[in-house]
Amino acid sequence: MRLNVEEKNKIIQYAKVFFGNEANLYLFGSRVDDAKKWGDIDLFLES
What pLDDT digit, counting tens, does each position of 2-17 carry? 788 999 999 999 999 9
Closest alpha carbon to 40 in 13, 10, 31, 18: 31
Domain extent at residue 32: 5-46
Write down the pTM of the prediction.
0.71
Structure confidence at residue 1 as a pLDDT band (50, 70, 90): low
* Contact residues for 12 (Cβ-Cβ < 8 A; gap 6+): 25
The total domain count for the chain is: 1
